[in-house]
Amino acid sequence: MDFILQGIYEAFHLLLTGDEETYFAIKSTIYTSSIAIMITLFIGMPLGFCLGYYNFRGRKVLRLISDTGLAMPTVAIGLILYALLSYRGPLGSFGLLFTLKAVIIGQICLSLPIVISLTASAIENMDKKHMLLLKSYHLSGLESVKAVLFENRYSLMVVVASAYGRIVAEVGVAMMIGGNIKWFTRTITTAISLETNKGEFAMGIALAFVLIAIAFLVNLSIVGLKRFDR
């Protein structure tokens, strides 16, 4: 018990004194996850909307592929990306392996199926009466899209929170294609894994606090947006 209390005390000391190594991992995580979620939303939201709103040939197959991506082990995704980005792989000439750009690519691959599938589900599960009411207004194509997105705004906020939570807390892909290189590609999760294995609980606990705080702030912002909307 004493080592846990000592670890918590040292964790607060690291955070309050601005320990450079701790804050580098925090900055790397915020940097990579923020870029990854913006790219993912830009690509995934329209695809998820089309998958949930329109009925076309091959829709079920695409939905099955997207849903399968939800259950893909992170280690498997990391292995595939490692093979593609390694110096012997087809994308090796770009020199992306063991860089933060590779971590961003990995985070996009992880979060894209989440955004596509959950967005499609949110659109599909929209109240049928509500959908018929919107169609009765004879809105234009773009107006219909805006109306449907507005009616599902709370569900879409949860989609964003779920995807962001997945990539912030991810460790397998970041470890495999990021390399967990100190002062270069080390993120919160890879640092926690490394420091815990070394028996350095203080930094691990400090970074875990930060992860929990990020998750709390994301959910708090959603609650705040809901109240603001009312």
C-alpha to C-alpha distance for 212 and 9, rounded to whole angstroms: 17
Q: What is the CATH number of the domain that holds 89?
A: 1.10.3720.10
The reported pTM is: 0.86
Asked if residue 2 is part of any domain, the answer here is no
Give the model's pLDDT for residue 42: 94
Give the model's pLDDT for residue 230: 58
Q: Per the structure, how many domains does the chain have?
A: 1
Asked if residue 227 is part of any domain, the answer here is no
C-alpha to C-alpha distance for 222 and 34, rounded to whole angstroms: 16
Residue 195 sits at φ, ψ, to 5 deg, of -65, -35
Asked if residue 10 is part of any domain, the answer here is no
Tens digits of residue pLDDT in 44-68 = 999 998 898 888 888 889 989 988 8
pLDDT tens string, the chain, 230 residues long: the values are: 666 777 777 777 777 777 888 889 889 999 999 999 999 999 999 999 889 888 888 888 998 998 888 888 888 888 999 999 988 889 988 989 999 999 999 999 999 999 999 999 988 887 777 777 776 777 677 777 778 888 888 888 888 888 988 888 888 888 888 888 888 888 888 888 888 887 777 778 888 888 888 888 887 887 777 676 55
Asked if residue 219 is part of any domain, the answer here is no
Among 11, 39, 7, 38, which residue's Cα sits nearest to residue 25?
11
**Which residues have CB under 8 Å from 71's CB, separation 6+?**
none
Asked if residue 93 is part of any domain, the answer here is yes
**The residue type at 100:** L
CA distances from 9 to 16, 101, 188, 202, 215 (A): 11, 34, 19, 8, 22
Asked if residue 4 is part of any domain, the answer here is no
Asked if residue 53 is part of any domain, the answer here is yes
* Domain boundaries, position 180: 27-200
Give the model's pLDDT for residue 169: 82
